[in-house]
Amino acid sequence: MNIVEPILFQSKLSPFTAAICVPGSKFGSVRYGMLEAFIHNVARTALKSGIVPGNIVATYINDTILHTAFVLGLMHAGATTLSLRGPKPVAGITPDVILTDVPGNVVNSGTVLAVDQSWLEGDGAAAPVAPQGSDDDICRIILTSGSTGLPKGIAFSHRMLAARIAHYTYSKGPRFAHCSRLYCDLGIATSPGFRYAMALLSRGGTIFFLGPDPADILQAIDLHKIQGMATSPYSLGEYLKFFEADEAFEVTFDHIICQGAMLSRQLSQRARARLCQNLYCSYGSTETTTVALGPASVLERVPGAVGYVQPGVVVEAIDGSGNVLPPHRDGALRIRTGHMAKGYVGDPETTRAFFRDGYFYSGDIGHLTAEGLLVITGREKTALNVGGDTVSPELVEDIISTFTNVEEAAVFALNDELGIARLFALIVAKSPIEESGLLQHCAQRLPPSCIPTRIIPVDALPRGAQGKLERQRLPEIAAAMVKPA
């Protein structure tokens, strides 16, 4: 089955229901009946323009509704779509065609086609789509977040995507299972953004995305009776700040799903108190799909807990020689799911490093509890070596974040002039922090090796598209802040 078929089916059942809504944008919203016409018109124009099934067609289109209509139309026509976040294609993946509404900026060795609204126009009749498409054809390449450095592509077949969407009936909890109006704070180009959109559209619901002005979505939440929100901890914090500052807003969410990074205890508690008591944390990756999910109220009690392991998912903590560790023993985590990726597109080397023996090695360190709760204690790569002691920056960051007026913190190690690693902390604070008080606070709670030697206040921490902390950028930011002094 072509992955777009369920959306076309919903278009027949409820043509008048809003499919995609981007408050304040040019289109505002598009109904299923209109979306169906868009899909057929884009598919036909694409085939007429020389795009053939199997082509990799990258899109770099600003308007979310236009973008989504193109992605769906192209997938329906049998193309492999790829949403770019910048005007340049990604290393290792050469698109046959790039479609863009800003053609001047785009660089490609293949074709660049300028597109506009005229592609959406037409009689809306079904296009003569390649009938022999297979379920195993690749329909979508999703770029994983750049937190490891360079973006990598994950390829999805129609079958894999369908399986992951089906997984959503239980993997995101009972409230999401009944949700027909979801606001996804993550863009359509991200893996969760794309899959939430496909999940909502496949079930005939309405997916809401952020428009040019955040004020519009804030009004839409109540007006459109949006039931759920999917967001990252970083954005959750931004919404929390807004709602805490304006007490007049009543928040009417039925549930919030937070994913992409660890949710701190403080943010979790405040978000539950002000935004929505039904806050869920989801842990997973583009490579594996959702691995664990749990109510924040439960996870808050266990430091590092990210959720209960999903059915059909195997998570193992292993030691250095590859032996599976018993519950409660920390080790490198490896994951196996029924519909995981086989590797990175055009990058066999990185693929070999992360995909081995049928497992995906996530790079996280953690353990399982006897109840099936997955606890992440650090990342193999982020784990710092400070004077011979292994330090988990996450642990130190959690402690610093509990200090009065500290909003968030990022900890990293830099070698001093003697070649000894020293711990640095970047902090975002509401008001100036008294350094000695903060250090004392850390000393009471952490072993000596984990106490930062230097604390640098910054306005914001560097974050990727999904809100993940970009740890590789921390030293340069620190250097820039320290130099003028």
Partner 1 sequence: MNIVDSILFQCRRQPPAAAICVPGPGIGLISYRRLEQFIHNVSRRLHALGLPERSIVAISIGDVIFHSAVLLASMRLGMIAVSLREGEISLPFQIDVLIADGKRSFANMGRVVLADLSWTEGDGRPLESHLLPQTHEDDLCRLILTSGTSSTPKAVGFSHKHIATSMARLSTFGNRIANCSRIYSDVPISSSLGFRFLIYALSRGGTAFFPGENFSSTLRVIEDYKVQCLVGSPSGFENLLRWFDTVPSYQSNVEVIYCGGDVLSRSLSDRLRSRICSHLISVYSSTEAGVAAVAHAHEIAEVPRAVGFVPPGVTVQIVDASGTLLPPGQEGQVRLRSEYAVDGYFGNPEESKKVFRDGWFYPGDLGTLSAAGLLVITGRAHAMLNLGGDKISPESIELVLAQFPGVIEAAAFAVPNEYGNNQVCAVVASRGKLDEQALRAHCEARIPRPFTPVKYLLVESLPHNENGKLDRRRVQDMVREIMARKV
Query: Which of the residues 160 through 219 are near partner 1 (CB under 8 A)?
Result: 218-219
Residue placing its CB nearer to partner 1 in the complex, 225 or 352: 225
| 257, β-bridge pairs | 230, 280
Shortest separation between residue 249's beta carbon and partner 1, angstroms: 5
Residue placing its CB nearer to partner 1 in the complex, 91 or 223: 223
Residue placing its CB nearer to partner 1 in the complex, 219 or 440: 219
Q: Cα(346)–Cα(141) distance, rounded to whole angstroms?
A: 11
Beta strands, E only, 130-234: 138-143, 153-157, 181-184, 206-209, 228-231
Residue placing its CB nearer to partner 1 in the complex, 13 or 418: 13
Question: Given strand 153-157, what is the order of strands in its sheet?
Answer: 111-114, 97-100, 56-60, 80-83, 138-143, 153-157
Shortest separation between residue 10's beta carbon and partner 1, angstroms: 11
User: Residue 225 interacts with partner 1 (CB under 8 A)?
Assistant: yes
Shortest separation between residue 64's beta carbon and partner 1, angstroms: 17
Pairing state between β 97-100 and 56-60: parallel
Note whether 7 and 42 are within 8 A (CB): no
User: Residue 223 interacts with partner 1 (CB under 8 A)?
Assistant: yes
User: Residue 17 interacts with partner 1 (CB under 8 A)?
Assistant: yes
Binding to partner 1 by CB under 8 A, coded x per residue (else -) over 246-265, reads: x-xxx---------------
Residue placing its CB nearer to partner 1 in the complex, 23 or 452: 23
User: Residue 29 interacts with partner 1 (CB under 8 A)?
Assistant: yes
Burial class (CB in 10 A: 0-12, 13-18, 19+), 103: middle
Query: Site for partner 1 (CB under 8 A): which residue of 4, 18, 74, 182?
Result: 18
Q: Specify the 3-state DSSP secondary structure of 254.
A: coil
Shortest separation between residue 232's beta carbon and partner 1, angstroms: 24
To 10 degrees, the CA torsion angle through 49, 53, 58, 64?
Answer: 80
Residue placing its CB nearer to partner 1 in the complex, 13 or 485: 13
DSSP code, position 471:
G
Beta strands, E only, 286-405: 289-295, 305-309, 314-318, 331-336, 355-356, 359-368, 373-379, 384-386, 389-391
Shortest separation between residue 444's beta carbon and partner 1, angstroms: 43
Residue placing its CB nearer to partner 1 in the complex, 19 or 386: 19
Query: At which residue do the structure tokens 């011979």 appear?
Result: 388
| Binding residue count for partner 1, defined by CB under 8 A | 19
Nearest to 127 by CA among 82, 79, 80, 73: 73
Part of the chain binding partner 1 (CB under 8 A), chosen from 7-15, 39-47, 359-367, 428-436: 7-15
- How many other CB atoms are found less than 10 A from the CB of residue 216? 16
Shortest separation between residue 276's beta carbon and partner 1, angstroms: 17
Residue placing its CB nearer to partner 1 in the complex, 34 or 199: 34
User: Residue 15 interacts with partner 1 (CB under 8 A)?
Assistant: yes
- How many other CB atoms are found less than 10 A from the CB of residue 479? 11
Q: Which residues bind to partner 1, rule: CB under 8 A?
A: 12-18, 21, 29, 218-219, 222-225, 246, 248-250
